[in-house]
């Protein structure tokens, strides 16, 4: 009898132990701490990004310390839900706030699970405290800029910079080194949005490996340009032959059909164009003079024209749109040339823009050629100024054979009129670029 009771007791204990082990209450494994990238430097604006994981039974608490002569607790998380298996953390660290001095220090992360054994993982590693912001000196900046215009900036930084660029209002654009021999020299073209009618701050910034930041506001004259506003009348023939084929929805009402294509489809098409023109792969400028205009052409539509549309005597509310390029017309199926040296980064059909080619020209500058009948180049082709890339037509949302020509700078449309002007490009950019190369070494 005693033997049977003892055996039953063993079975109960084994079952209980198995249950406790299965649920993780009894567990011998430490939690894991996973870094996206361990920071080697901590400054006045650093981030510590990591994830803690414990499959069984879950995380119970986390503590983070900065160690320099003494332990300084900078973060604690003990109010965690039961059975929490995983959590990501992004901690902002200001070494100056905690009274740390430049030199060696350590970061310690302590995470504990919720098992009976309170398994604890302690990761401690060395960092360097750096509180000195990077140097930043402006070498050249625009004297003036208009809404819809392009600006250029060159500047010098210290060698510890990890991120740098220019902020125009609340928009941020990249700047690049490698355009001259000295790798501490950065430069870029940047856009000023056509839809801003007031002066906004333009600030160059540099952030070093420790998160320390320097910035310099540019002094410039703002020229407000008034763009045309117009009303365009729509016909049933245009809606049925040009608009309806571009819609992926079966909308019977002609006015609502046009609104959908001119707003929703347009946005989808322009999002694609912006995405392509935001990916800068050529740092050095390939443009050496003004861009070419379609040969023997006359301008039909201007940049940033704000258009309303009328159908059967009534304005279609909410169908307004900006025209984000210049329209040039010549003869039917006129040959289209590359405006300047560059690399073809896109060829294909883009909805309302029809058959299109996008070319990258360096420093964030792109050109787009739309409504083409034929495309004579392929993605990846390197083209020279004047290379024939296609023929004009009416593909997309176009009436009459013409070329839609656009210039984009880091993903935003700018006024092509500047880029067609030899004097503007020479005085605003080429002369300054030559001067910078003379001082800091040309490629």
pLDDT in tens, 343-354: 999 999 999 999
**Cα–Cα distance, 231 to 392 (Å, whole number):** 25
Q: For position 27, what pLDDT does the model report?
A: 73
Q: For position 7, what pLDDT does the model report?
A: 54
| Among the four given CATH numbers 3.90.1150.10, 3.90.1150.110, 2.60.40.2550, 2.40.50.140, the one describing domain 27-129 | 2.60.40.2550
Fold: same for 27-129 and 136-225+430-440: yes
- Cis peptide, bond prior to residue 57, ω within 30 of zero: yes
Specify the CATH superfamily of domain 230-414.
Answer: Glucose Permease (Domain IIA) (2.70.70.10)
| Among the four given CATH numbers 3.30.30.60, 3.40.640.10, 2.60.40.10, 3.40.630.10, the one describing domain 136-225+430-440 | 2.60.40.10
Residue 165: pLDDT over 80:
yes
Average pLDDT for residues 7-15, to the nearest whole number?
48
Q: State the pTM of this model.
A: 0.86
pLDDT tens-place string over residues 292-307 = 999 999 998 899 999 9
Written as six digits, the tokens of 251 are 């909308």
Q: For position 14, what pLDDT does the model report?
A: 44
The single-letter DSSP state of residue 239 is I
Q: For position 117, what pLDDT does the model report?
A: 86
pLDDT tens-place string over residues 238-249 = 999 999 999 999
Q: For position 21, what pLDDT does the model report?
A: 45
Q: For position 18, what pLDDT does the model report?
A: 45
Question: What are the residue boundaries of the structural domains of the chain, listed by start?
Answer: 27-129, 136-225+430-440, 230-414
Q: Are strands 41-42 and 120-129 parallel, antiparallel or unpaired?
A: parallel
Average pLDDT for residues 398-417, to the nearest whole number?
96
- Predicted confidence band of residue 19 (pLDDT cuts 50, 70, 90): very low
Written as six digits, the tokens of 259 are 């609104």
- Predicted confidence band of residue 24 (pLDDT cuts 50, 70, 90): very low
DSSP assignment of 50-119 equals: EEEE--SS-EEEEEEEEEESEEEEEEEE----TT--EEEEEEEE-TTTTT--SEEEEEEEEEEESSTT--
């Amino acid at each position: 009898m005693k033997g049977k009771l003892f055996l039953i007791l063993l079975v109960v204990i084994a079952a209980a132990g198995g249950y406790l082990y299965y649920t993780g209450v009894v567990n011998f494994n430490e939690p894991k701490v996973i870094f996206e990238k361990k920071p080697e430097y901590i400054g006045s604006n650093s981030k510590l990004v990591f994830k803690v994981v414990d499959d069984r039974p879950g995380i119970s608490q986390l503590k983070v310390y900065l160690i320099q002569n003494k332990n300084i607790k900078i973060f604690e998380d003990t109010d965690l839900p039961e059975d929490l298996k995983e959590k990501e953390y992004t901690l902002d660290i200001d070494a100056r706030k905690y009274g740390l001095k430049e030199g060696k220090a350590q970061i310690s992360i302590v995470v504990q699970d919720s098992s009976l054994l309170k398994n604890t993982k302690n990761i401690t590693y060395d960092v360097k405290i750096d509180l000195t912001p990077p140097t930043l000196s402006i070498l050249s900046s625009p004297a003036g800029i208009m809404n819809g215009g392009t600006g250029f900036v060159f500047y010098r930084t210290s060698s510890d910079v990890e991120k740098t660029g220019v902020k125009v209002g609340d928009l941020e654009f990249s700047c690049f080194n490698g355009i001259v021999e000295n790798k501490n020299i950065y430069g870029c073209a940047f856009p000023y949005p056509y839809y801003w009618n007031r002066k906004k701050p333009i600030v160059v910034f540099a952030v070093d490996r420790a998160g320390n930041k320097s910035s310099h506001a540019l002094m410039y004259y703002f020229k407000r340009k008034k763009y045309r506003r117009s009303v365009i009348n729509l016909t049933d023939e245009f809606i049925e032959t040009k608009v309806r084929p571009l819609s992926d929805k079966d909308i019977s009402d002609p006015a609502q059909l046009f609104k959908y294509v001119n707003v929703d489809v347009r946005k989808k098409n322009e999002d694609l164009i912006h995405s392509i023109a935001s990916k800068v792969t050529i740092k050095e400028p390939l443009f050496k003079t003004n861009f070419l205009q379609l040969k023997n052409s006359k301008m039909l539509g201007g940049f940033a024209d704000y258009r309303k549309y009328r159908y059967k005597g009534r304005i279609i509310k909410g169908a307004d749109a900006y025209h984000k390029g210049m329209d040039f017309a010549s003869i039917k199926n006129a040959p289209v040339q590359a405006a300047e040296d560059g690399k073809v980064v896109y060829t294909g059909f883009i909805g309302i823009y029809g058959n299109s080619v996008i070319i990258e020209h360096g420093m964030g500058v792109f050109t787009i050629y739309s409504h083409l009948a034929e495309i004579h180049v392929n993605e990846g082709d390197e083209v020279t100024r004047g290379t024939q890339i296609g023929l004009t037509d009416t593909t997309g949302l176009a009436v009459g054979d013409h070329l839609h020509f656009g210039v984009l700078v880091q993903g935003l449309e700018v006024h092509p009129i500047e880029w067609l002007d030899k004097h503007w490009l020479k005085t605003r950019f080429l002369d300054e670029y030559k001067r910078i190369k003379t001082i800091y070494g040309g490629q």
